[in-house]
Amino acid sequence: MKRFFFLCLLLFVCGRAFAGPLVSLSVKKAPTEEVFRSLASMSGKNIVFPEALTGELSLTLHDVPYEEALRLAAASQGLFLETVGDVTIVAPAGTMERGFGALTAYPLSYVPAKEAAETLKPLIKAPLSFDQTSNTLFVLGSPGDQARAQKVLARMDRLQKQVTLEARILSLQEDASRELGLQWKWSGLPQQNSEETDGGTFHLGHGYTGSFQGILSALCQKGKAKVLATPRIVTVPGKEGKIFIGDHIPVVTEKVSNGTTTTSTEYVDAGIRLSYTPIVGPDGVITASVHTEVSTPTLISELHNYRITSRTADTNVRLLEGETLVIGGLISDEEQKRLETIPLLSKLPLLGNLFTFRSRKKTRTEVVMLLTPYLTEPGRSPAFIPYKEDPHFLPPLPFSQKKEGDENISLSYSHRPPSFQISG
């Protein structure tokens, strides 16, 4: 036979300067933990439970101070009750009998209390709880547990340097890659995480080398290389940072059901995507997991629709601050058709072709990413990065800059899909 319980909870809180909030409470066979949560919620107080409370509670109180109501409710169930600051701890009395006699509150400054609790849980046997509002961790444990908790929290709750990643995204013509000495093969790019940087990646060392940077500057002046974007992103160690430069491409899909065709449009991201997760060691070495992706939209004329093709590369690298990682091999092909005619004469029978000029030009371009990490003090702008310390440094080109006889800097592909723009 199922057991039903009746809960009738009436809380009336009125403020008195000398007695604090008064509570009127009437419950019958109510879950114990829910009673305490309701008391705290209606009174605007904080309450935590290192261990789940079980059992049911029947209690009737009239105009009793909040603290006294908690004490009476805890005493009726034999529960341990203690208030630390603005937070009340309620736990089974058995925790005291098992040696968990010391309750310590750890106010945290930099690490979330929830994250600290998840880290400590497998390390100590003591009950843990946390209050997100005050970002405080509570440990109800033995002196040994408290010592271990203090040691771990001292390592976690520290002001850490942030990692600023400067990404320089270049578009190179095929012959420009040869001049730079970037002889990539797509099959050589690492498709799985690897400690090495063979194939599509290599280090330039601390700062760009003068010869590499000088050639790159000359190629930009000749129009053989373009700086597509120079985004920066700041993240904390252990957290993922993301960069996306692209556009939303409409892709039309058709579905036939029972002889009826329905058409829907889905917008797919296409462009350049970069994500990285850095870890900073005690020696200042930055270990980063890097993922790069270049997706290209191609218009299929017969279908009047776009096809998205993607190339990706993943690698794990170790870099010192200011060292540069080069990722290449992200190649796209472009075909341009040109038709020039002389009006009227080009339409003459048999002779029209003599006054018509057709040309076809295929261009292979390569997207190269130069990634340089810097350690940034919290609260300090990443703009301190010393761009001009290297006399051969290639200055960033504004996205809207034009040169004589040149077009806006943009990523363009076959059949003129929408140009990509920097988002965000």
Over residues 23-62, the pLDDT tens digits come to: 777 878 888 888 888 887 777 777 777 777 888 888 787 7
The contacts of residue 90 (CB under 8 Å, 6+ apart) are 36, 47, 48, 49, 53, 70, 74, 79, 80, 81
Q: Which has more pLDDT, 338 or 96?
A: 338
DSSP string, 142-160: -HHHHHHHHHHHHHHSS-P
Q: What is the CATH number of the domain that holds 134?
A: 3.30.1370.120
The verdict on 233 and 319 lying in the same domain is yes
Q: Which has more pLDDT, 318 or 329?
A: 318
Count of positions (residues) in the chain: 424
The verdict on 226 and 268 lying in the same domain is yes
The residue to which tokens 């070495």 are assigned: 285
Average predicted confidence (pLDDT) for the chain: 70
In this prediction, residue 278 has a pLDDT band, given cuts at 50, 70 and 90, of very high
Query: To the nearest 10°, the Cα dihedral for 397, 402, 405, 407?
Result: 90
In this prediction, residue 213 has a pLDDT band, given cuts at 50, 70 and 90, of low
Over residues 285-327, the pLDDT tens digits come to: 898 888 888 887 877 776 777 888 777 888 888 888 888 888 8
Q: What is the count of structural domains for the chain?
A: 3
The verdict on 112 and 186 lying in the same domain is no
Of the three residues 34, 63, 92, the one that is the final residue of a domain is 92
The verdict on 205 and 342 lying in the same domain is yes
Report how far Cα 243 is from the mean position of its chain's Cα atoms: 9
DSSP string, 12-43: --B--TTT--EEEEEEEEEEHHHHHHHHHHHH
pLDDT of res. 100: 54
The verdict on 66 and 170 lying in the same domain is no
Contacts of the segment 1-6: beta carbons below 8 A, 24+ positions apart: 5/29, 5/30, 5/56
Instruction: Say if CB 264 and CB 288 are below 8 A apart.
Output: no
The verdict on 183 and 218 lying in the same domain is yes
The verdict on 10 and 146 lying in the same domain is no
The verdict on 69 and 147 lying in the same domain is no
The verdict on 194 and 294 lying in the same domain is yes
Of the three residues 158, 178, 194, the one that is the final residue of a domain is 158
The verdict on 284 and 328 lying in the same domain is yes
Whole-prediction pTM: 0.53
Taking the CA atoms of 37, 40, 45 and 48 in sequence, report the sign of the dihedral they define.
negative
The verdict on 53 and 113 lying in the same domain is no
Between CA 9 and CA 34 the distance in angstroms is: 10
Instruction: Say if CB 108 and CB 152 are below 8 A apart.
Output: no
Range of the domain at 61: 1-92
Of the three residues 92, 117, 150, the one that is the final residue of a domain is 92
The verdict on 282 and 191 lying in the same domain is yes
Instruction: Say if CB 169 and CB 205 are below 8 A apart.
Output: no
pLDDT of res. 57: 81
Most distant CA atoms of the chain, gap in Å: 109
Q: Between helices 113-120 and 143-156, what is the axis angle to 10°?
A: 130
Q: What is the CATH number of the domain that holds 7?
A: 3.55.50.30
